[in-house]
A and B are shown apart, each in its own frame.
Chain A
């Protein structure tokens, strides 16, 4: 049984048919990337999975249970955490407070303390800036904070929306290194990225999205070799 199974999902914004029958699976322990250009429906797919948008048709199964009817705030306790596009950190709270809110639904104080320590060893920058307001940090640091905060919920599936957006190339590499580390620690990851090159390097499998439809799906290696993908998303002629 796949950890996440999306079956023939149709999502609309008003009358606009944004997702025209998306189906994808994410197995336990994988890093799966969703690549595609602007407006292909990548973010819409993520928002549908975590309940922020309601599809008109189709089903989303998490560990075998349909989660479409669950409101978004209940998903985190089921094991799905999302790092939204543009990070969505609480700008006016400190780093520590942000992380504490990530563990909001949990009651085990000891475990929270331990996980905070884990996050700090994963992101040493955050340890240095514990008392700083999140909004005053650089984009890369905010991205780290958003990821750390999502990890505080001890998710089984982490949804990452454009983690490389607006970051310097050095930071992009650092972020993708961390994504791999997190995955090795046992967190399954669904990664939405415009930076197809980086995404396919860390991902195991990939789906290519175009105007609301999945046009290609294969292992990351095969996609990297695929002529269409190379031409359209990797900039290789």
Chain B
């Protein structure tokens, strides 16, 4: 018993319990309960309920083992966490029933629906509560018991579980994709909008096995590839790039119009993310007004192509695109001039102000004759090549895709260039950079200007995609979204930005129940990321080194290890 840190157990158990009680009280559980993962077995709401004790059990078991405790002690602590984690939840069930019947007037989401969910549709509250207690305790135990399984087995199992949850969660989308292909396929795999339970089991087994094979074979395949002559390696590399390219080209045909729409939105944010990454990730300039560039691009596209009375010139999309990019760059340059001397927080606040100014200008009566004020600009035509109009999302997808490719190429080249190194030095230490002969003023201006370019591009595509633009589309949230996806994905990391955009922009679109809790989820995600993985999901090499100095030193000191 002496190896169990009971205070840690108490803390973690109560935290898990409070989290569950909180998400219940604000209505997350009930909302998400309508999305079924495995038919008749698991809903998304239940999953959220189960994850807290499971995770707390896992953490506490890990800590006990790390402190030199036995497996028995670790299981015991898991049990403790499980029991503790249901105390606040139990309060949620009993309080309104027994003591405070008026509680529901304040917390409208503590509804009979919630109670039924928490007590597993049992007739009596008592037997339901007991069931909940038993289950939560068991989950705490299971969480701590995962340490009994060797890592090589645990990983594939965890990943397989994740796959089942993902596939189950997005069954509805998969059904939509599969239905036109083969109806019987749909009925064999899915029931309602969820996976059939036997299919879920099979999927779990298959993905676990696949993952096990892949991880065990990865190293040998890697060494085999390394042994190939360099020409072959190059060929293999190019072939895989071509394959990925073809896959992306085919994507909108396969996934249908709804997912294409989501992909277009994700793509627009990837464009902006890559742009802002130049300022923040590479040059270390915290720009919180990135929406400015997006708005400039959109409004120029609107004014120059619209067929309404506000439209001037009614030029073609393809002519205006470069104008949008250049205008955004000029704005970026001009806005950078006054903030050249600012660093860190001051820069952030000032750029934040610029973002708001742009929105207010767009709303203002002063510019109304030009850009329509609150009424915005309407009748912006879709892009077209001769007679072919990019009317639907699955067609617009290609424009976004090639835009992303272009910006991606530029970003990668910049990252590895002399300019990239200039930014790196600027980010690390402005004075030392000066002493190295780097013109910091010019470097900063270049970063802001280039960073603005792809924002302008994204704005231009956005305007012609929607066909109408309103000032409200250009609020602070756009800047925050772009910043958040960079942080979540990994600052300075290009693959990270793509993953970040998928997670932060794509997921909320797919989980429509999410919409109400979007900002909450953002906050939670950012806090969790900062605590658990501050370098982001796919960190850049440098960021990784910064945040994990200790490991680097130890490998340097003992090169053998």
Chain A positions near chain B (C-beta within 8 angstroms): 50, 52, 71-77, 81-82, 84, 88-94, 97, 100-102, 104-105, 129, 131-133, 135-136, 149, 153
B428 in contact (CB, < 8 A) = yes
Task: Identify which of residues 393-432 in chain B touch chain A, using a CB-to-CB cut-off of 8 Å.
Answer: 418, 421-422, 424-425, 428-429, 431-432
Query: What are 12 pairs between A and B in contact, CB < 8 Å?
Result: A72-B435, A73-B439, A84-B432, A89-B432, A91-B429, A92-B428, A93-B428, A94-B545, A100-B421, A104-B425, A105-B437, A149-B436
Q: Are B437 and A90 in contact (CB under 8 A)?
A: no
Contacts of B556 in A (CB 8 A): 129, 131-132
Q: How far is the CA of A76 from the CA of B431 in the complex (A)?
A: 14
Q: Are A84 and B435 in contact (CB under 8 A)?
A: yes
Chain B positions near chain A (C-beta within 8 angstroms): 418, 421-422, 424-425, 428-429, 431-440, 542, 545-546, 549, 552-553, 556
Contacts of B434 in A (CB 8 A): 52, 72-73
Contact of A76 among B418, B424, B429, B435 (CB under 8 A): B435
* 9 cross-chain pairs, A with B, having the tightest CB-CB distances, nearest first: A76-B437, A105-B437, A88-B432, A90-B428, A104-B436, A132-B556, A92-B546, A73-B439, A101-B436
Q: How far is the CA of A8 from the CA of B437 in the complex (A)?
A: 27
Which has the most chain A C-beta neighbours within 10 Å: B422, B428, B552? B428
Distance (whole angstroms) from the CB of A117 to the closest CB of chain B: 20
Q: Are A77 and B552 in contact (CB under 8 A)?
A: no
Q: How far is the CA of A127 from the CA of B183 in the complex (A)?
A: 66
Q: How far is the CA of A92 from the CA of B428 in the complex (A)?
A: 7
Question: Which chain A residue shows the least CB distance to B421?
Answer: A101
Question: Which chain A residue shows the least CB distance to B542?
Answer: A92
Distance (whole angstroms) from the CB of B420 to the closest CB of chain A: 12
Q: How far is the CA of A88 from the CA of B438 in the complex (A)?
A: 14
Which has the most chain A C-beta neighbours within 10 Å: B418, B433, B434, B435? B435
Interface of B is mostly: helix
Distance (whole angstroms) from the CB of B38 to the closest CB of chain A: 46
Q: How far is the CA of A71 from the CA of B440 in the complex (A)?
A: 11
Q: How far is the CA of A40 from the CA of B434 in the complex (A)?
A: 25
Contacts of A105 in B (CB 8 A): 436-437
Q: How far is the CA of A93 from the CA of B431 in the complex (A)?
A: 15
Question: Which chain B residue shows the least CB distance to A94?
Answer: B545
Q: How far is the CA of A91 from the CA of B438 in the complex (A)?
A: 17
Contacts of A97 in B (CB 8 A): 421, 424
Q: How far is the CA of A91 from the CA of B549 in the complex (A)?
A: 11
Q: How far is the CA of A76 from the CA of B433 in the complex (A)?
A: 11
Q: How far is the CA of A97 from the CA of B422 in the complex (A)?
A: 11
Contact of A93 among B418, B435, B542 (CB under 8 A): B542
Q: Are A91 and B552 in contact (CB under 8 A)?
A: no
Distance (whole angstroms) from the CB of B437 to the closest CB of chain A: 4
Total cross-chain contacts (CB, 8 A) = 81
Q: Are B431 and A104 in contact (CB under 8 A)?
A: no
Given contacts A132-B556, A133-B545, A136-B549, contact A90 B435 (CB under 8 A): no
Contact of B424 among A52, A84, A93 (CB under 8 A): A93
Q: How far is the CA of A198 from the CA of B25 in the complex (A)?
A: 71
Distance (whole angstroms) from the CB of A13 to the closest CB of chain B: 16
Q: How far is the CA of A104 from the CA of B418 in the complex (A)?
A: 8
Question: Which chain B residue shows the least CB distance to A134?
Answer: B428
Q: How far is the CA of A72 from the CA of B436 in the complex (A)?
A: 9
Q: Are A90 and B425 in contact (CB under 8 A)?
A: yes
Contact of A102 among B428, B436, B440, B546 (CB under 8 A): B436
Distance (whole angstroms) from the CB of B250 to the closest CB of chain A: 41
Contacts of B546 in A (CB 8 A): 92, 133
Distance (whole angstroms) from the CB of A36 to the closest CB of chain B: 23
Q: Are A88 and B431 in contact (CB under 8 A)?
A: yes
Contacts of B428 in A (CB 8 A): 90-93
Contacts of A149 in B (CB 8 A): 436
Q: Are A132 and B424 in contact (CB under 8 A)?
A: no
Given A82-B435, A94-B545, 7 more pairs with CB closer than 8 A:
A73-B438, A76-B437, A92-B546, A97-B424, A102-B436, A104-B437, A132-B553
Q: Are A74 and B437 in contact (CB under 8 A)?
A: yes
Distance (whole angstroms) from the CB of A88 to the closest CB of chain B: 4
Question: Which chain B residue shows the least CB distance to A130?
Answer: B556
Q: Are A76 and B436 in contact (CB under 8 A)?
A: yes
Contacts of B431 in A (CB 8 A): 52, 84, 88
Q: How far is the CA of A132 from the CA of B429 in the complex (A)?
A: 18
Q: Are B552 and A104 in contact (CB under 8 A)?
A: no
Q: Are B432 and A104 in contact (CB under 8 A)?
A: no
Q: How far is the CA of A81 from the CA of B435 in the complex (A)?
A: 7
Distance (whole angstroms) from the CB of A109 to the closest CB of chain B: 12
Q: Are B542 and A73 in contact (CB under 8 A)?
A: no
Q: How far is the CA of A212 from the CA of B458 in the complex (A)?
A: 57
Q: Are A153 and B437 in contact (CB under 8 A)?
A: yes
Q: Are B435 and A104 in contact (CB under 8 A)?
A: no
Q: Are B440 and A73 in contact (CB under 8 A)?
A: yes
Contacts of A50 in B (CB 8 A): 435
Q: How far is the CA of A92 from the CA of B546 in the complex (A)?
A: 6
Contacts of B552 in A (CB 8 A): 132-133, 136
Q: How far is the CA of A131 from the CA of B557 in the complex (A)?
A: 11
Q: How far is the CA of A135 from the CA of B436 in the complex (A)?
A: 18
Given contacts A100-B421, A131-B556, contact A88 B542 (CB under 8 A): no
Contacts of A84 in B (CB 8 A): 431-432, 435
Contacts of B438 in A (CB 8 A): 73, 101, 104
Contact of A101 among B425, B549, B553 (CB under 8 A): B425
Question: Which chain B residue shows the least CB distance to A128?
Answer: B556
Contacts of B418 in A (CB 8 A): 104
Question: Which chain A residue shows the least CB distance to B442?
Answer: A73
Distance (whole angstroms) from the CB of B521 to the closest CB of chain A: 31
Q: Are B437 and A77 in contact (CB under 8 A)?
A: yes
Q: Are A90 and B429 in contact (CB under 8 A)?
A: yes
Q: How far is the CA of A103 from the CA of B546 in the complex (A)?
A: 23
Contacts of A136 in B (CB 8 A): 549, 552-553
Which has the most chain B C-beta neighbours within 10 Å: A82, A88, A101, A135? A101
Contacts of A76 in B (CB 8 A): 435-437
Q: How far is the CA of A85 from the CA of B92 in the complex (A)?
A: 61
Q: How far is the CA of A84 from the CA of B429 in the complex (A)?
A: 12
Distance (whole angstroms) from the CB of A186 to the closest CB of chain B: 20
Contacts of A132 in B (CB 8 A): 552-553, 556
Distance (whole angstroms) from the CB of B358 to the closest CB of chain A: 32
Question: Which chain B residue shows the least CB distance to A76?
Answer: B437
Distance (whole angstroms) from the CB of B147 to the closest CB of chain A: 32
Q: How far is the CA of A132 from the CA of B546 in the complex (A)?
A: 11
Distance (whole angstroms) from the CB of A84 to the closest CB of chain B: 6
Contacts of B421 in A (CB 8 A): 97, 100-101, 104
Question: Which chain A residue shows the least CB distance to B435?
Answer: A82
Distance (whole angstroms) from the CB of A49 to the closest CB of chain B: 12
Contacts of B439 in A (CB 8 A): 71, 73-74
Q: Are B435 and A88 in contact (CB under 8 A)?
A: yes
